[in-house]
Structure 1
Amino acid sequence: MSPQKRATVVSTTVATLLVFVKLTIGIASGSVAVLASAIDSLLDMAVSMFNFFAIKKSEEDPDDFYHYGKGKIQAIASVIEGTIITISGIYIIYVAIEKLIHGSETKLLTPSIMAMLFSIVVTYLLVKYLLRIARETDNLVIKADALHYKTDLWSNAAVLVALGLVYLTDLHAIDAIFGLGIGIYIIYSAYEIIVEGIEILLDKSLDGEMVAQIGEIISNHPEVTSYHWLKTRTDGITNFVEFHMVLRPNMLLLEAHRIADEVEDKIMKLDPKRRWMITPHFDPYDDEDINRAMLHGTPLVDLEKVSH
């Protein structure tokens, strides 16, 4: 089992444990903050299970139907995860407002506080583990999962503070107010996850610094006259790079292939954690204007004018 899949199994197990503890205490105590945290953990469990299958599919090799693999499943998973987090935040806000209106009391404060202390310790250890796996694998799903549980850590701490204040002041509205704040924070935290997933689905280019480094590698090769039409994207697992490089018109194909291999080797070293699919195109002259004209639908009869 890969480290990514093992991480999803661990997070699913932890989330299941926390659901049982928080839901039991939340229902018994009537605490909106604890109940909100329990619902969030329930969604964590569902999302972690979904992430396992998403990673399993994304790691499959390309086949006759999916020539570029299924890496974008990770991006789909992160969008779904972010959407679920947003929905849970909206529900928590609804429950908090309802409690503020009706003014119900929070019971079993001591067991609730102990449950949240336990949750904070377990979640902290899980976040440390997920962040380590995310650094080692650079996996988008694991990064999203780590971010999700990191927000849980802060929300659990907020719940603990709320329960402590209710215990000290006997002002039960504090529980609802903190629950409201947690709901807003959860929605805010989901934004980054959704955006990153959508950017991958829309084939956003690699990081600007990475693109600049790729350009430098191509242009710095002593036998490359110039380059153009550099295009990049990622599916979360594989980085895709296409470019045209201008070589001597009389160069042998064997030489051109050697140059391409040297350039590709240097590009792949920029991010050894990712797979790379690099597609160079050999040009005897700079035809960037022609390519741009074709991209924008210039009629074939006008291409000769463009080339001159």
Structure 2
Amino acid sequence: MTKRKKAIVISLCISVLLMLAKFTAFFISGSNAILTDAAESIVNVIASSFAFYSVYLSTRPRDENHPYGHGKVEFFSAFVEGTLILIAGIIIIGKSIYSILSPEPLQQLFEGTLIIAIAGLINLVTGLFLIRTGRQENSMALVADGRHLLTDTYTSAALVVGLVLMLLTDLYWLDSLLSVAAGLYIVFTGYKLTRESVGGLMDESDLKLVSAVVDILQDHRADAWIDVHNLRTQQYGPELHIDCHVTLPYYYDLTRVHKEISDIDDLINEKKLRETELFIHADPCLPQCCHYCRMKDCPVRQEPQSKDFTWTIENTTRNKKHFENELL
């Protein structure tokens, strides 16, 4: 079993146990605040189950129907999880407002508070573990599940503080008010997660990742790589796909062009940002490139180098050679 699969199985088992514990706390106390936490635990179990399936599917090898692999399913998993969080938050807010208007007596509040506090600590440890593993394995599904558990931890911590206040002050109307506040936070978290997953499904650029790739190319730049442009990235689960255009001296033969492109491929992969597949289109240089070309002893140079471009996100992601950017 892979590291990703082990992590999500651990998350699923813990989610089931904590859901049972929180509902036990609700039944013995009758607290709406505790019910809020228990209801979110149902979402945790459903989301962890879906995340487990998505992690299993994303690790399957490429096939004829999925030439880029199955990694995109992790973004879909995160979208479903974010949607479930949103729905849970809205239901919690509705139930809490109803309870403000129709309050019910509370019982065994201390025992219920203790159960919620212990469950929150367990969720904190599990959530941090999932986020760390997800980042190591480049798994959106694990990171999303970890963030979900951290959200549960924060709401549990807020509820514990409120429940302790109720125990000390007998202000039981705080119960439903805390539920509303927790519900609003849950809705906000669900929105953020849904927004991020939609961005991944629509191949939204990860600017930090693109910046890291550009920095690697700039720091190890060969003289023959006259410019890089139209650089784009796509993420498929743990795999990264990059395509770009590289301007090379027009007099290079096919063997030399292949070597330069292979050097770029090796450079990106040896830095181990993540497993990366590159699609590089070679462009021939033009006379207009001479003034920023670094090639020494170039046999066809028409003017000396008078300018040097530092590769940045701005000039490498445009679909224009650097001299064309100067004309803008």
Q: TM-score, normalised by structure 2?
A: 0.82
- Which residue is 2:90 aligned to? 90
What's the CA shift for 1:235?
Answer: 2.5
8 Å CA contact 1:137–1:273 kept in 2: the answer is no
2:284 matched to which residue of 1?
Answer: 284
In the TM superposition, what is the alpha-carbon distance from 1:131 to its structure 2 partner?
Answer: 3.0
CA distance in structure 2 between the partners assigned to 1:255 and 1:8 by the alignment:
46
Match of 2:12 in 1: 12
Q: Which residue of 1 aligns with 2:215?
A: 213
CA distance in structure 2 between the partners assigned to 1:65 and 1:13 by the alignment? 33
Structure 1 CA distance for aligned equivalents of residues 19 and 232 of structure 2: 45
Equivalent in the alignment of 2:227: 226
Runs of 5+ consecutive residues of structure 2 not aligned to the other structure? 289-317, 321-328
Q: Percent identity?
A: 27
| CA distance in structure 1 between the aligned counterparts of 2:259 and 2:89, rounded to whole angstroms | 55
Distance 2:42 2:118 in 1: 16
**Which deviations, in whole Å up to 9, do the C-alpha atoms of 1:160-196 show, x marking residues without a partner?**
1121112112221101011111000111112221122
Name the amino acid aligned to 2:232: K
1:62-93 deviations in whole A, cap 9, x for unaligned?
A: 11111111111000010110010010011110
Q: Output the CA distance in 2 between the equivalents of 1:98 and 1:248.
A: 72
> 4+ residue stretches of structure 1 with deviation over 6 A?
none
For the 8 Å contact 1:211–1:232, the answer to whether it is kept is: no
Q: 1:261 maps to what in 2? A: 262
Q: Alignment partner of 2:191: what SS?
A: helix
Deviation at 1:215, TM superposition (A): 5.4
**Aligned Cα RMSD in Å?**
2.2
Q: Distance in 2 between matches of 1:132 and 1:280?
A: 32
2: CA distance between counterparts of 1:211 and 1:239?
11
Q: Note the 1:106-145 alignment, pairs <5 A.
A: 106-145=106-145
Is 2:227 the partner of 1:249?
no
**Which is further off, 223-232 or 182-191?**
223-232
**SS in structure 2 of the partner of residue 88 of structure 1:** helix
Where 1:243 maps in the other structure, the secondary structure is strand
Relative distance call for 1:95 and 1:126 in structure 2 (3 A) is same
1:124 Cα deviation (Å)?
A: 2.3
Q: Report the CA distance between 1:209 and its aligned residue.
A: 1.8
Q: CA deviation at 1:17?
A: 0.7
CA gap of 1:228–1:136, structure 2 versus 1, over 3 A, is closer
Contact 1:104 1:172 in 2 (8 A): no
SS of residue matched to 2:232: strand
1:53: how far off?
0.6
The amino acid that maps onto 2:230 is W
Contact residue 62 and residue 69 of structure 1 kept, 8 A: yes
Q: Deviations over 1:38-74 (max 9, x none)?
A: 1111110111111011011111111111111111100
Deviations 1:238-261 (A, max 9, x none): 211111222222322111111111
In structure 2, the partner of 1:302 is none
Structure 1 stretches of 5 or more lacking a match?
Answer: 294-308
When you count helix as a share of all residues, which structure comes out higher? 1
- Alpha-carbon distance in 2 for matches of 1:292, 1:188: 37
**CA 1:116 to 1:66, structure 2 compared with 1: closer, same or farther past 3 Å?**
same
Give 1:273 deviation, angstroms.
5.2
- Larger mean CA deviation between 253-262 and 73-82 belongs to 253-262
Give TM-score, length-normalised by structure 1. 0.87
Contact 1:138 1:273 in 2 (8 A): no
Counterpart for residue 176 of structure 1: 176
Stretch of structure 1 that moved more, 272-281 or 36-45: 272-281
Greater displacement, 209-218 / 148-157: 209-218
Task: Give the count of matched residue pairs.
Answer: 289
> What SS does structure 2 have at the residue aligned with 1:251?
coil
Write the letter of the residue equivalent to 1:170.
D
